Structure 1
């Protein structure tokens, strides 16, 4: 019954690849699930941004004509879904997955590679008809050895759908595979996908997960340059210019009371970071220091996430009109120097990127020197 139901709905699921079932990194357009959203800066400014609770989706128009959607989860800012779509009826570029090609690979060709009809999600029809008569067909496969689900979408434009229906009538579905062309390929964390699709799943007889071995042996994008991470990418939306309000060292901020004089003195000059904060750095021995940020508007104090003996020779770079804080520090045991980028939003820190810049001796150079010479 499952097979007949899928056929009548035009559910042409895709394939179990013939490559070894070794789980590869799940990449789309050179980006990978689990990457930090900061890697998307290679694409420039998104054409559209949509927020949905803890998730934000950024949309880009690629130079090769492929539209990319990338979804990340806050506060980790790690990518949980990637989707590439070819918006034209004409043949497009390679999908980067096996020999599948946008706008060219048909359902008939895909079926010749499949081992089963994949997964049917109970809350989502596998066939979507648009108001103009076009038809889209969705199929889902788990990616072997991961928590990732791959989605493939083929479509038949309205003119072709009308022609097939007029020619074959009730038997039209049998002839759909040759006409349907691949339009979208995506990978998603299963937990994220099932937020919209639900958790009820039916597996086809003989179902097996696919392996994901991208045709890209290396990323199509160059490694991001640290010098391209600019304070203006994390702007502030207000700058506080009122009177300084100091911490409540008896109540809310009592955990910081041992350094009340240093913190109060550090906040006396007014905000210097993220619109309304002062940064206070306090020494704890030779090469050792730690830091706080104090809100000049509310008086509340927060720890900076690096400092102490684990992060020696700590240097900080920041400015009033940005939520970006750059820290440079040395790992004494490994004898290495690192530059680390953080975002700060309403009292919460987000670790954006950590990069090794050299040996511990490189931490005696300025942050600007190390950032500008990094690839």
Structure 2
């Protein structure tokens, strides 16, 4: 809903053998590419808000532009964005992993708003009664948090929590009653006003958080309503009415480097740390001889493996350490790479021979680890004979 929808749970068909990833590298890459499976946690399903998911790297938020507010609280930082469609998004990430641990979308206006993206729930229209009916209960009551919060102006907010089945996530639904409606309820029902509030309380906020993060503030003591059950929340339930992000809007300057190495070239330790790359020691050494050309201190070395086939490495000219580039080989034919010294962004263009399609894929590179940012089909396989600049429009 806010800006464009992020695309790219990429690399599903890329075999670990073709990538050459082993040990820790392979585990890290697997976590990065399986955003829909909630990276660091042993969970299932995809908890998505406004096109973002728990476990995403905070770098995915860059497509929203500059946050209107940044608030740090210990190891957590919350960024607030105001969307052009009227939805306010709050995204919280944990340092140093920079993974999203909480997402919250709010409709701040009166009246009916857009779809929440979860089932048939609609901002400003769906009532608390309807939510409870769909979920089958009133949800979870946290001992340290009153489910009813009254503002100084007389408005009332009601918080409802539900575990997301098969995950470590908790969904939050906040419904509210404006001050005028609250006054009418009190005048009509007196002490029973709260009991009669659910039909009048309309959905204003939908959120999802890691349970561990939520319980930092709510505490761990909780009570389940009679008939309570965890809810399902899968990627199939999440839809977007907005077009996908324009490839031309992804700029190298969005991933700047913080230093550029200008010292002597240091080459790999092919008898120790970098021995897995020994078979290509000459090509790698030659490729690093010209100095860094990517991400401040890296050389990019692309090596052919047959007609239309190639794979690539990046070598750190400061430390000599070598890393695999996460595309290449027979799964990614006609591979082209675009990069520059002052950016951590690497753009790859490649063809899926079996599907006869051409793709552009964007990666961030930080301290030896790749983050898969976006994958986009650009057309039939013949489009891979165009340049990256021609296809990224």
Q: TM-score, normalization: structure 1? A: 0.71
Counterpart-to-counterpart distance in 2, 1:99 and 1:291: 46
Counterpart-to-counterpart distance in 1, 2:128 and 2:324: 55
Verify: 1:325 aligned to 2:342, yes or no.
Answer: no
RMSD: 4.4
Verify: 1:229 aligned to 2:250, yes or no.
Answer: yes
Aligned partner of 2:389 in structure 1 is 368
Aligned partner of 2:224 in structure 1 is 203
Q: Do the aligned residues in 2 keep the contact of 1:98 with 1:213 (CA within 8 Å)?
A: no
Counterpart-to-counterpart distance in 1, 2:112 and 2:291: 56
Q: Do the aligned residues in 1 keep the contact of 2:334 with 2:350 (CA within 8 Å)?
A: yes
Which range is displaced more, 231-240 or 363-372? 363-372
Q: Do the aligned residues in 2 keep the contact of 1:39 with 1:224 (CA within 8 Å)?
A: no
Verify: 1:43 aligned to 2:85, yes or no.
Answer: no
Verify: 1:334 aligned to 2:355, yes or no.
Answer: yes
Q: Do the aligned residues in 1 keep the contact of 2:48 with 2:238 (CA within 8 Å)?
A: no
Deviations 1:52-104 (A, max 9, x none): 8997654211234431123568999886643222446x5463454646543x7
Aligned partner of 1:354 in structure 2 is 375
Counterpart-to-counterpart distance in 1, 2:76 and 2:303: 36
Deviations 1:318-360 (A, max 9, x none): 1111111111222333333222211100100111222222333
3-state SS of paired residue (2:243):
coil
Q: How far does residue 253 in structure 1 lie from its aligned partner after superposition?
A: 1.8
Q: How far does residue 265 in structure 1 lie from its aligned partner after superposition?
A: 1.8
Aligned partner of 1:62 in structure 2 is 83
Aligned partner of 2:303 in structure 1 is 282
Distance 1:201 1:312, change over 3 A: same
Q: How far does residue 115 in structure 1 lie from its aligned partner after superposition?
A: 4.4
Written as runs of structure 1 = structure 2, the 5 A alignment for 1:101-250 is 101-102=123-124, 115-122=136-143, 124-128=145-149, 136-142=157-163, 149-155=170-176, 173=194, 182-188=203-209, 193=214, 197=218, 201-208=222-229, 219-250=240-271
Q: How far does residue 255 in structure 1 lie from its aligned partner after superposition?
A: 2.0
Distance 1:220 1:50, change over 3 A: farther
Counterpart-to-counterpart distance in 2, 1:307 and 1:181: 50
Distance 1:276 1:218, change over 3 A: same
Q: Do the aligned residues in 2 keep the contact of 1:33 with 1:188 (CA within 8 Å)?
A: no
Deviations 1:289-319 (A, max 9, x none): 2211111111111111112223222111111
Counterpart-to-counterpart distance in 2, 1:300 and 1:51: 34
Aligned partner of 2:113 in structure 1 is 93
Q: How far does residue 277 in structure 1 lie from its aligned partner after superposition?
A: 0.7
Q: Do the aligned residues in 1 keep the contact of 2:349 with 2:359 (CA within 8 Å)?
A: yes
Written as runs of structure 1 = structure 2, the 5 A alignment for 1:17-36 is 28-29=49-50, 31=51, 33=53
Q: Do the aligned residues in 2 keep the contact of 1:122 with 1:198 (CA within 8 Å)?
A: yes
Q: How far does residue 26 in structure 1 lie from its aligned partner after superposition?
A: 6.4
Q: TM-score, normalization: structure 2? A: 0.69
Structure with greater Cα Rg: 1
Q: How far does residue 278 in structure 1 lie from its aligned partner after superposition?
A: 0.7
Aligned partner of 1:264 in structure 2 is 285
Distance 1:244 1:129, change over 3 A: farther
